[in-house]
Structure 1
Amino acid sequence: MSQPLVAVSADVRELNNHTWHATPQQYLAAAVSGAGIFPLIVPSFGERLDLDRLLLAVDGVMITGSGSNVHPSMYGGDSSEANGPYDPARDSTTLPLIRKAIDQAVPLLAICRGLQELNVALGGTLAAEIQEQPGKLDHRAPPSDSRDARFALRQTVTVKAGSFLFDVLGATKIKVNSVHRQAVGRLAPQLQAEAVAEDGTVEAVTVRNSRDFALGVQWHPEYWVKSDAPSACIFRAFGNAVRARAAKRSGILGAAG
């Protein structure tokens, strides 16, 4: 099976006295097994990277989750240490990459922090520590030494009937594994909410009038992609969009040749 190339975001971490640009395996494995694509990790070097050249070489972009938060200076928020940790090198890479992917109609899947980056990239804001706000649920992972327990499908989200995400999932209610402290504050004008939690927290978005697949989810479909039907549907739909773009570009290039 053909595996089109997809650009994947990277965190910048200090490990063993070295600076690493890395992505958790869970996302990469889901990209391969769930979407049938070839993930390429993009280092977070910001403006030093020719992102237009990158988007000529790939047929999709996946923005992963992370333990870090978008720096509040990107949306006029509170830059206190309490709202960290931060990864400004990642911000300087993912935010312009998201905008360029949308402008150039490159399929985009944004997960957890990725959804928050998508919202900020298009002019929205984020709300910090939402579990402390009146009327809001605690969307953080439950305390446990077990990763499966931390990422258990435990929260219900309502998917807007007739929406893009509804077409992908074929359901209006699904269980998800939200494990976040931050969430969408003011939704970017170019985005529309596709799913919300029981407390009204935005849990999925799409880009208005997008010319291709452009979906952000606040939960973690990569974790249960092999056993959870909605998770599998999201990655399969993304993979199909990536392959469709690759086939289209191959046809155009073939005709030009």
Structure 2
Amino acid sequence: MDQPLIAVSTDVRQFENYSWHAAPQQYLEAALTASGVFPLLVPSFGDRLNLDQLLASVDGVMVTGSKSNVHPSLYGGDASEANGPYDPDRDATTLPLIRKAIEYGVPLLAICRGIQELNVALGGTLATELQEREGALDHRAPQSDSQQERFAIRQTVKIAPGSCLAGVFGAGEIKVNSLHRQGIGRLGDRLEVEAVAEDGTVEAVSVKGARAFAVGVQWHPEYWAATDETSAKVFRAFGDAVRAHAAAKLNARTAAE
């Protein structure tokens, strides 16, 4: 079975006296099963990594969600303890990786923290504690010890007509989950809004003029990709773009021989 490689972001976590570079299984499972790709974890070593070599070797990039937030110094925000936790090693890796993936036309899927990294990477800002805004919904996860309750599909999102995601879902509204307390503030350069929540919160973006699929979503399609058709469609669209990129590279090599 053909499984083109994709690069997957990692968090740096401290566990059992070791520093671990890791990604949640749900993202890897969704990539493998729903997208049909081979997820390859990229350690968060920042500028020690040759990202040009990496992107020449893979056919997609997936930037995962995380408990940590993008460090506010990267977009002129307040680096308070309340805004944390932070993961500067991940920031130093994902932001240049995102920029280079767009530059090289490598398909990109950015989820939750990933959409925020995409926005910051392209010059945007983040808004914190969205639930404190007047008239805003509470986008945070419900208080529960059950992951299924925390990740429950409960929020309506409106897809922008004529957008990339309209081609994935069709026009109109979809239902998604919501587990975030911060989101996009000022929209980054080259980004356009793909979907909004009922209170106007940006829930998805795409890169204008991108040479390949380049989409960020604020919700968590990875959690229900095996059982929810809306969630699965995100990963299938990404997988199709990855395979198209792999085929184009193969055709270019063949033509050059």
Q: Same fold (TM over 0.5)?
A: yes
Preserved contact between residue 122 and residue 190 of structure 2 (Cα < 8 Å): yes
- Secondary structure at the residue paired with 1:67? coil
Amino acid at match of 1:101: A
Give the alignment of 1:170-189 within 5 angstroms: 170-189=170-189
1:255 is displaced (CA, Å) by: 2.2
Q: Deviation digits for residues 68-103 of structure 1, max 9, x if unmatched?
A: 000000000000111000000000000000000000
Give the alignment of 1:45-60 within 5 angstroms: 45-60=45-60
Specify every segment of 5 or more residues in structure 1 that has no aligned partner in the other structure, as ranges. none
Q: Which runs of 4+ in 1 moved over 2 A?
A: none
- Secondary structure at the residue paired with 2:115? helix
Q: Deviation digits for residues 204-226 of structure 1, max 9, x if unmatched?
A: 00001111100000000001111
Q: Deviation digits for residues 179-227 of structure 1, max 9, x if unmatched?
A: 0011000001210001000110000000011111000000000011111
Tell me the distance in 2 between the aligned counterparts of 1:178 and 1:104: 31
Specify every segment of 5 or more residues in structure 2 that has no aligned partner in the other structure, as ranges. none
1:154 is displaced (CA, Å) by: 0.3
Tell me the distance in 2 between the aligned counterparts of 1:255 and 1:209: 26
Tell me the distance in 1 between the aligned counterparts of 2:137 and 2:189: 25
1:231 is matched with which residue?
231
1:24 aligns with 2:24: yes
Amino acid at match of 2:37: I
Using the TM superposition, name which of 129-138 and 203-212 deviates more. Answer: 129-138
- Secondary structure at the residue paired with 1:188? coil
- Secondary structure at the residue paired with 1:199? coil
1:4 aligns with 2:1: no
Give the alignment of 1:1-257 within 5 angstroms: 1-257=1-257
Tell me the distance in 2 between the aligned counterparts of 1:106 and 1:99: 10
Preserved contact between residue 105 and residue 210 of structure 2 (Cα < 8 Å): yes
Tell me the distance in 2 between the aligned counterparts of 1:24 and 1:228: 19
Preserved contact between residue 194 and residue 205 of structure 2 (Cα < 8 Å): yes
Percent identity between the aligned chains?
68
Count, aligned residues: 257
Tell me the distance in 2 between the aligned counterparts of 1:114 and 1:89: 14
Amino acid at match of 1:13: R
Q: Give TM-score, length-normalised by structure 1.
A: 0.99
Q: Give TM-score, length-normalised by structure 2.
A: 0.99
1:133 is displaced (CA, Å) by: 1.5
1:105 is displaced (CA, Å) by: 0.3
Q: Deviation digits for residues 147-172 of structure 1, max 9, x if unmatched?
A: 00000000101001111101011141
- Secondary structure at the residue paired with 1:223? helix
Preserved contact between residue 160 and residue 171 of structure 2 (Cα < 8 Å): no
Amino acid at match of 2:78: D
